[in-house]
Amino acid sequence: MNIACYISDSKVSEQIHIALKSAGLDCERLRSEIPLSRLISRRNYDLILVELESNDPDREGIFSWMSCRIEDSTPVMMLSSLRNPSLTATALNAGAEDVVATPVETVELVARIQAILRRTARQSIRRTIELAEFILDRERQTLAYQNEQIELTPREFAMAWMFFSTPGKFISRETIGSSIWGLNGEIANRTIEQHIYKLRKKLLMGPERKVTLRTAYNQGYRLEILP
């Protein structure tokens, strides 16, 4: 079993590494959210372990990445020393399998990890979204409006899933780029703009279909449900 660990505290990371190794689990330490999103798309991990703290500059990016994963069903466990019910709820709603308060005894942590691995091994990865008469099927990578199929490329579908899974929430260009293309900079920005344009056109977004993609300077894009 191979586990990706995004843990900033080197001491905590080493303790977890030793505990997991003794349980026969390999642990690879990652040092930022961008390498995390890139590596997950290229490597097969059995679980992702993420430390979440109040001063973490990547926190919002992590939540966006979790909400927007499209072809990845890898379970995520979060560790946090914060006793914050709202933060825990946000993490669970974004897709975390478990949120563990730290400090935690390593024997309990390993047991929780093993329980997640057993549980997720039995789960189906099929998921659908139904919103404003649109239906997205993640397994088939299809999108329909009022039961009529709309032809999308794999990346267009990945982008559509991002927005329909997080309505009302701005998604930055950096998050879109790293999640779908693994790119940063102007090239990715131009590519994203082209895909946004094509997605709006193919889905005929507007008042009639009651959805639109709103653009905000320095914030990104947001799917909005119209009255």
Residue 145's pLDDT band, with cuts at 50, 70 and 90, is very high
**pLDDT tens track for 69-85:** 655 678 899 998 887 88
DSSP reduced 3-state for 114:
helix
Q: What is the mean pLDDT of the chain?
A: 82
**pLDDT tens track for 30-65:** 765 555 555 555 567 888 898 877 555 455 667 766
Mean pLDDT (whole number) for 82-109: 85
Mean pLDDT (whole number) for 174-183: 74
The answer to whether residue 115 scores a pLDDT higher than 60 is yes
pTM over 0.75: no
Mean pLDDT (whole number) for 190-208: 94
Type of residue found at 85: P
The phi, psi pair for 47, rounded to 5°, reads -165, 150
pLDDT at position 21: 87
Q: Which residue has the higher pLDDT, 110 or 91?
A: 110
Residue by residue, DSSP assigns 118-186 as HHHHT-----EEEETTEEEETTTTEEEETTEEE---HHHHHHHHHHHHSTT--B-HHHHIIIII---SH
Give the other-Cβ count within 10 Å of 212's Cβ.
Answer: 16
Mean pLDDT (whole number) for 197-222: 93
pLDDT at position 135: 96
CA-to-CA distance for 78 and 99, rounded, in angstroms?
A: 5
Query: What residue ranges define each of the domains in the chain, with the CATH number in brackets?
Result: 2-121 (3.40.50.2300), 128-225 (1.10.10.10)
pLDDT at position 153: 93
The answer to whether residue 102 scores a pLDDT higher than 90 is no
The phi, psi pair for 214, rounded to 5°, reads -90, 135
**pLDDT tens track for 149-159:** 999 998 899 89
Q: Are strands 134-137 and 128-131 parallel, antiparallel or unpaired?
A: antiparallel
